[in-house]
C-alpha cells in the first residue's frame, strides 16, 4: 500500500530546504532543475535531487499547476485543483491499495497546486508507438477494473460534486466551442483541436456531424441510469509506470470523474490505439471479464452493451479529432483506425 501524501497550504514550500529536510531527512546537497515536457496544458515540472550523507540520493519530481493559466483547468472548470483534492479524500484511500501512488507532499493554494512525488522516470513505459507487452496491458486493464469495482455505485462519490460527470467527458475535447474557439490559448492545443475537428467534420457523414454538434446533455441522456463509479479519466500509457516495488502506478488524476466505468476504457482504446497488444474487441472482452471478476457477478448483456457504447462514444468525443488529423495527414493505419470508430458510431446512431 502506498503512503498517503502530506498536504500543506503552500506550493513554494515544496522547494524549501527545511520542508524537504523534515520529509526526507538531512542532506548536504540540493539541486532543482526545470524539465522540458511535451505536455500541452501548461503544467511545469522540475527535477529535485537531494544528496544525503554517505552518498545516498533522493530523486523527486515536482509538478506545478497554475489553475488560472492551465488550459485543461479552464476547459474543465477546475478551480479547486482536482488532482490534489482527490488525493486528500479519506474515503478514497483504497486507491492507494490498488495503485502505487508516488506522491510525498501536496501543496495547494486557491490558484495553484504542487505535487512533489517520487521520480518514476525509470519505471515509465516506452513513449514510442510500439506494442505494449501483453502482461503490462492486461495489468493496466485489471487494475482499472479493480478500481471501478471498488467504487461501483458507491455513495461516497455523490459527496464529491467536483468530480467530472459524463457530460464533462463529452464536452472537454468535443467539437462544441472548439470549432469557433478564439480564446487566449488560440495558438496552442485548442487551435490544433479546432483545426482537427474541422477536418473531422469534413470526413463525417452528415447524420453523424449532427450528432456531434448536439449539447452534451442530449448525448448522455440515454446513459443517465448506467452504474457510475470512480474513473481516472486519462488512461493513456504515459500516465502508467512501475513503482519501486514493481506495482503499477497511475499518475495525473486531474480528469478524475464519477461516470460509467467504460469512460476509462473508451479513452484507453482511443488514445493508446497504436500500442494495444490485442484488438479493441479483445480488450473490451478482457476488461469486461476482469470487471465481473472484481464485482463477483456477471453483468446483464444489455447493460454491458450500453456501457460499451457509452465508453466508445465518449472516447470518440475525446479524440476523434486526432483520428481525422491522422487521415488527412496520411498517417500509416489512420484510415483503418478511422473506419473502426465510424462503424461503432454508426451503430450508436442507429440505436438512438
Give the pTM.
0.94
Q: How far is CA 277 from CA 133, 135, 280, 312, 331, in A?
A: 7, 9, 9, 18, 20
CATH 3.90.1200 fits 129-351, yes or no: yes
pLDDT confidence of 169, banded at 50, 70, 90? very high
Question: Which pLDDT tens digit goes with each residue over 313-352?
Answer: 999 999 999 999 999 999 999 999 999 999 999 999 999 8
Question: Which pLDDT tens digit goes with each residue over 208-217?
Answer: 999 999 999 9
The CATH number assigned to the domain with range 6-119 reads 3.30.200
Q: Give which of 229, 316, 325, 218 is closest to 266, Cα–Cα.
A: 316
Question: Which pLDDT tens digit goes with each residue over 253-277?
Answer: 999 999 999 999 999 999 999 999 9
Q: Give the pLDDT score at 38.
A: 62
> What is the three-class DSSP state of 305?
helix
Return the percentage of the chain with pLDDT > 90, whole number.
Answer: 78
Q: How far apart are CA 247 and CA 71, in angstroms?
A: 31
Same fold, 6-119 and 129-351: no
Annotate 220-238 with b (16+ C-beta within 10 A) or e (fewer).
beebeebebbbbbbbbebe
Phi, psi of 307 (to 5 degrees): -65, -45
pLDDT confidence of 130, banded at 50, 70, 90? confident
* Domain residue limits, the chain: 6-119, 129-351
- Residue 41, pLDDT > 70, answer no
Q: How far apart are CA 181 and CA 343, in angstroms?
A: 29
Q: Give the pLDDT score at 243.
A: 84
Q: Give the pLDDT score at 40.
A: 59
Average pLDDT over residues 281-302: 98
Q: How far apart are CA 320 and CA 342, in angstroms?
A: 9
Question: Which pLDDT tens digit goes with each residue over 43-88?
Answer: 899 999 999 998 999 999 999 998 888 777 877 778 888 989 998 8
Amino acid at each position: 500500500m502506498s503512503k498517503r501524501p502530506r498536504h500543506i497550504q503552500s506550493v513554494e514550500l515544496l522547494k524549501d530546504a527545511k520542508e524537504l529536510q523534515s520529509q526526507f531527512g538531512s542532506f548536504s546537497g540540493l539541486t532543482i532543475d526545470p524539465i522540458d515536457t511535451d505536455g500541452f496544458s501548461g503544467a511545469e515540472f522540475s527535477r529535485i535531487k537531494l544528496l544525503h550523507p554517505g552518498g545516498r540520493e533522493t530523486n523527486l519530481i515536482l509538478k506545478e499547476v497554475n489553475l488560472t493559466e492551465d488550459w485543461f483547468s479552464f476547459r474543465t472548470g477546475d478551480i479547486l485543483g482536482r488532482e490534489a483534492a482527490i488525493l486528500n479524500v479519506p474515503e478514497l484511500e483504497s486507491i492507494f491499495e490498488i495503485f502505487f501512488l508516488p506522491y510525498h507532499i501536496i501543496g495547494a493554494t486557491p490558484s495553484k497546486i504542487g505535487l512533489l512525488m517520487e521520480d518514476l522516470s525509470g519505471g515509465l513505459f516506452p513513449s514510442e508507438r510500439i506494442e505494449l507487452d501483453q502482461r503490462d496491458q492486461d495489468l493496466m486493464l485489471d487494475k482499472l477494473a479493480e478500481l471501478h469495482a471498488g467504487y461501483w455505485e458507491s455513495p461516497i462519490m455523490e459527496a464529491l460534486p467536483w468530480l467530472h460527470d459524463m457530460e464533462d467527458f463529452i464536452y472537454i475535447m468535443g467539437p462544441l466551442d472548439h470549432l469557433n474557439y478564439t480564446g487566449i490559448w488560440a495558438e496552442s492545443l485548442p487551435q490544433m483541436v479546432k483545426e482537427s475537428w474541422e477536418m473531422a467534420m469534413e470526413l463525417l457523414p452528415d447524420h453523424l456531424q449532427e450528432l456531434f454538434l448536439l449539447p452534451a446533455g442530449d448525448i448522455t441522456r440515454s446513459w443517465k441510469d448506467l452504474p457510475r463509479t470512480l474513473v481516472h479519466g486519462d488512461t493513456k500509457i504515459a500516465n502508467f509506470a512501475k513503482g519501486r516495488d514493481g506495482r503499477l502506478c497511475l499518475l495525473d488524476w486531474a480528469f478524475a470523474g464519477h461516470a460509467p466505468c467504460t469512460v476509462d476504457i473508451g479513452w484507453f482504446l482511443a488514445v493508446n490505439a497504436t500500442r494495444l497488444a490485442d484488438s479493441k474487441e479483445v480488450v473490451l472482452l478482457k476488461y469486461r471479464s476482469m470487471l465481473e471478476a472484481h464485482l463477483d457477478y456477471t453483468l446483464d448483456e444489455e447493460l454491458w452493451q450500453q456501457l460499451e457504447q457509452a465508453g466508445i462514444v465518449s472516447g470518440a468525443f475525446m479524440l476523434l479529432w486526432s483520428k481525422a488529423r491522422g487521415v488527412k495527414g496520411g498517417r500509416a493505419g489512420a484510415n483503418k483506425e478511422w473506419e473502426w470508430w465510424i462503424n461503432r458510431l454508426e451503430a450508436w446512431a442507429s440505436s438512438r
